[in-house]
Amino acid sequence: MRTPENLFDRFEALATGENRAFVVTPAGRTITYAEANATSARLANTLVALGVAIGDRVAVQVEKSPEAILLYLACLRAGAVFLPLNTAYTPNEIDYFLRDAEPKLFVAAPGAKAALEAVARAARVAAIETLGTAGDGSLMERAATQPTAFATAMLDRHDLAAILYTSGTTGRSKGAMLSHENLASNAHVLSYFWRFTAEDVLLHALPIYHTHGLFVATNVILQVGASMLFLPKFDSDQVFALLPRATTMMGVPTFYVRLLDDPRLTREATAHMRLFVSGSAPLLADTHRGFEERTGHAILERYGMTETNMNTSNPYAGDRIAGTVGPSLPGITVRVVNPETGRQLPMGEIGMIEVKGPNVFKGYWRNPEKTKAEFRDDGFFVTGDLGKVDWKGYVTIVGRGKDLVITGGFNVYPKEVESEIDALPGVVESAVIGVPHKDFGEGVTAIVVRATGVTLDEAGILAALQPRLAKFKQPKRVIFVDDLPRNAMGKVQKNVLRVLFERIYD
Ligand code: AMP
């Protein structure tokens, strides 16, 4: 007989149905662990009644709500594979995911059902249900008549808990297969490393279709039986109203930039907090320093990705160094190699970051070639991120490998140029990209956001960079924009910029 390895059973307060708060909404609704246990049992019974068996995918495109989290927990209990989809995806994109993942059940937002029903039918999805943000929709109606007990599916630790599609900035998104062990090991290590206890209250303003809001935030809370204040989305007014009741927050850098822009951000406003965590995109060193000056809190930056969960983290006690993502987490090995030879590089040299550990996913859904291409023979996963490790083990990320600019045969790491530009007075932020250039292959190109009212121009920036960067690293052009394009996780979409400016050297 196999030992029970279902992630659900690791969440003790949930599995035993404790009578303490799990999710609290700004409107004042509290869902206790006891209630979460009962409702997720009802939902697990509903899944079984709809024909969902162990290993079947349940695709979900719904707005953030406590019930959506309960549906995730129901999938764990029933041994189904939870497959959340970005709420921004259009029916055309949903068509691709449904055909690729072949879910048994698709759960849509009530208002989107009409547009998505035909898509789901054409993709041969057997069951389509709806779930709204107020506990409404056909799924909860079905669940209402189901029993509040459910025998948790007996699984192997390698069985799949979820498939998360990568954001797919190059080519089509790929489904990252995450096992119960992948999620369990990360929930355990993060809750311990960041010192979460049952007394913690997490301010949760992230989306829940992505690894950050779904697994990092929610699983850590479930691991220790703590509670979360569950905002539909990031909203400064709501955040400032709730900070006095919270102890921790996890955010993307954009959250911290917005908080820092707000005069309400003070030591007093954050006095009840013990920890601010940032990830999913690089936190500017300036933001880190500015936040610490204003609040006394050094934001703790960590690094991870859909495929690997979290890999590194700045320490809880000890130096949280701005611009770094800290050392590898316990039980996880991070190395930096020469991308071509795969050979490990000496300390301090920039190369490809590779990761190995119980956190690393099982491979891409129905894509063995891609899986094979991104794993080394010794089991390390090639992250696609370029970075370096210092003598204390702290990792610094210099950007995605595909964002590397190769100009006249020289490698230019965008982060190095961006850091120089960002340090100039009057610059808010910048993105450096490679744009096709007939002489150089790619021309280093800087896209810059200026502070309002400053007169900084292209010639000024180029002149300021001259003594600071080797000639080949200096931008050939500087283009000013009002904002950098970002996705929902705050990542600058360099692929969008490359398309926008692809002809400037023609
Ligand atoms: P995703 O799979 O959407 O979570 O994106 C993962 C990617 O986000 C990583 O491969 C990195 O390129 C980037 N990323 C995540 N955390 C950080 C961080 N703290 N600093 C810089 N880049 C990050």
CA–centroid distance, 506 to ligand 1, in Å, is 33
For ligand 1, say whether the CB of 395 is within 6 Å of any of its atoms: no
> For residue 58, what are the CA distances in angstroms to 25, 47, 55, 130, 380?
25, 9, 9, 12, 29
Tokens at 301, concatenated: 């930056």
Protein residue with least CA distance to atom 8, ligand 1: 280
Candidate of 86, 215, 280 to mutate for ligand 1, largest count of ligand atoms within 8 Å of Cβ: 280
Q: Provide the strand spans (E) within 324-475.
A: 333-337, 351-356, 381-389, 395-400, 405-407, 410-412, 427-437, 441-450
* Ligand 1 within 6 A of CB of 383: yes
Instruction: For ligand 1, atom 7, name the residue with the nearest CA.
Output: 305
Q: Is 173 in the pocket of ligand 1 (CB under 6 A)?
A: no
Assess whether the C-beta atom of 209 lies below 6 angstroms from ligand 1: no
Determine the number of helices (DSSP H) and then strands (DSSP E) in the chain.
17, 23
Residue 52 carries which side chain, given as an amino acid letter? V
CA distance 63 to 321: 35
Residue 1's pLDDT is 46
Atom of ligand 1 nearest to the CA of 301: 19
Name the residue at shortest CA distance from atom 9 of ligand 1. 305
Q: Rounded to the nearest whole angstrom, what is the distance from the C-alpha of residue 284 to the centroid of ligand 1?
A: 13
For position 408, what pLDDT does the model report?
85
User: Which pTM does this prediction carry?
Assistant: 0.92
At 162 the pLDDT is: 98
pLDDT at 409: 81
Instruction: Kindly report the number of other CB atoms within 10 A of residue 376's CB atom.
Output: 13
Q: Please work out whether the CB of residue 387 comes within 6 Å of at least one atom of ligand 1.
A: no
Would the CB of 324 count as within 6 Å of ligand 1?
no
Cβ contact 23:175 at 8 Å:
no
For the chain, how far is it from start to end, CA to CA, in angstroms? 67
Query: Residue 227: CB within 6 Å of ligand 1?
Result: no
**What are the start-end ranges of the E strands in 30-70?**
30-32, 57-61
According to DSSP, residue 213 is labeled I
Spatial CA neighbour of 323 closest among 298, 355, 349, 346: 298
What is the distance in A from the centroid of ligand 1 to the CA of 302? Answer: 9
* Rounded CA separation 101/57 (Å): 7
445: its two tokens:
């190109």
Residue 319 has a pLDDT of 97
Q: Is 311 helix (H, G, I), strand (E, B) or coil?
A: strand
In the prediction, which pLDDT does 87 show? 92
Best mutation site among 283, 397, 413, 493 for ligand 1 pocket (most ligand atoms within 8 Å of CB): 397
Which is nearest to 6 in space by CA: 221, 220, 185, 180? 180
Query: For residues 59 and 101, is the Cβ–Cβ distance under 8 A?
Result: yes
Give yes or no for residue 169 CB within 6 A of ligand 1.
no
Calpha distance 294→47 (Å, rounded): 49
Report the pLDDT value the prediction gives residue 439, as an integer from 0 to 100.
84
Kind plus residue range of the DSSP H or E element containing 182: helix 180-193
- CB proximity list for 237: less than 8 A, separation 6 or greater: none
Whether the Cβ atoms of residue 5 and residue 157 lie closer than 8 Å to each other = yes
Report the separation in Å between the CA atom of 306 and the middle of ligand 1, taken as the mean of its atom positions.
9
Which residue from 166, 256, 305, 359 has its CB within 8 A of the most atoms of ligand 1, so it is best to mutate?
305
Q: Could you list the mean pLDDT of each consecutive 10-residue stretch along the chain, which spans 506 residues?
A: 79 97 96 98 98 98 98 98 94 95 98 95 97 97 98 96 82 91 98 98 97 98 98 97 98 94 97 97 93 98 97 98 97 96 95 98 96 96 97 95 88 92 95 92 95 94 94 95 92 94 94
